Structure 1
Amino acid sequence: MRPSMRACAAVTVALGIIGPIAGCSSPEEAPSDAHTSAPTPKQEKPAKAPKGDVKAPVIGVGKSGTYTTVDSYSGAKTTMSVTLHSVKYVTPDEIGGSTPKGRFAVLTVEVKNVGSKDGGFHPYGMMKWEDASTAAQEASTLENTGTQDVDTTYHPGQAVTGDVVLDVPRKGGKALYRDQLGPESIVFALPSK
């Protein structure tokens, strides 16, 4: 092979190796990257999801509602049913509790796992109260009435009936339960008397 051909071959080989390497970091490829990740309409679909979101059921005394709970570790979903049997406004002396900021409301609820996976109902720290004139306020308490503890994990078919004691500013309004950080899972309509 002649020296000029060797030089030409060496340049060709060098360009063959350097060309793709240089091409990988070329700023000219940024638009094509944007083009390949252009399924932007697919990424926008979750933004449209609120139209299909189910509003939290609002239940009054004697009524039931269901919500879907998602296990934070496994992602497994199951359906929980909650029945509001009664609401009673009590004084601290009636439950042997501390002094509330407002008044104590005792909600007697029945919680049942009607799904096929384990699921939880954990009201402590996840209950708020609001009405037409007052924005949502933390309502959870550590008070109890000595009934069964509904704050637990339920296997499919298991149920517990017990009390949830809330500290609410006044009678009436709504108690909002959030299963996780997000929108309400279930809303309890509280009587005004």
Structure 2
Amino acid sequence: MRAYSRNAALFIVTLTVTGAVASCSPSSSDAPKTPPTSSAAPEQKPEGAPKGPAKPPVISVGKTNTYTATDKSGNSTKMSVTFHAAKYVTPSEIGEVKPKGRYAVITVEVTNVGHKDGAFEPYRNLKWKGKATAEQDVSTLASTGTEDIGTTYHPGQGMTGDIILDVPRKGGNVTYYDNPGTASLLFSMPPK
């Protein structure tokens, strides 16, 4: 038997079996009666159910906000971040080579205000986005010589330090991702 003849025969057998099974199922008059349901009312989510992706807390210069830091084991704690300052600098001001965009130095204070250890790890977890520019990594390993705030904090511990970013231009927003895909904080960058 040729391949196309065999395929046609299998198709016919499949249709015959499907039809036989369908004729054995109860008809609509044999089906048990159920009360009619109204499809006009929108489906209600149970109280406390997530309502989609949560927007991260926004911090502008001079302000403080908190987020929940979650480690790889699923343990979480509250972290407080104060956005002390932001300034745009030239490479010579910080002793670095020419950036892709421009350098921005942000000064932040990180404090563990929760009851468990929590980490703040800015390297590779900071993304910049502008009105007409897609989100992109702006992390650098450059340093101004201040404390390295990328570490694990025990409850009550805190530290202040600089983070040097390579941003495409002034303004926009820098999002911190505590976990991949989950925005934890959004730094509102100054336009000047």
TM-score (norm 2): 0.73
- Residue 58 of structure 2: aligned partner: 58
Mapped to 1, the partners of 2:49 and 2:182 lie a distance apart of 13
Matched residue type, 2:135? A
Does 2:82 align with 1:97? no
- Residue 132 of structure 1: aligned partner: 131
Mapped to 1, the partners of 2:181 and 2:50 lie a distance apart of 12
Mapped to 1, the partners of 2:184 and 2:105 lie a distance apart of 19
1:53-83 per-residue CA deviation (whole Å, 9 max, x = no partner) reads 542011100011111111213x211010111
- Residue 70 of structure 1: aligned partner: 70
Mapped to 2, the partners of 1:125 and 1:52 lie a distance apart of 25
- Residue 167 of structure 1: aligned partner: 166
Structure having the higher strand fraction is 2
TM-score (norm 1): 0.73
Structure 2 unaligned segments of length 5 or more: list them: 1-44
Q: How many residues align?
A: 147
1:94 counterpart SS class: helix
- Residue 107 of structure 1: aligned partner: 106
Deviation at 1:187, TM superposition (A): 0.3
1:136 counterpart SS class: strand
Structure having the higher helix fraction is 1
- Residue 155 of structure 1: aligned partner: 154
Mapped to 2, the partners of 1:85 and 1:68 lie a distance apart of 20
Q: Which structure: larger Rg?
A: 1
Mapped to 2, the partners of 1:49 and 1:90 lie a distance apart of 45
Structure 1 unaligned segments of length 5 or more: list them: 1-44
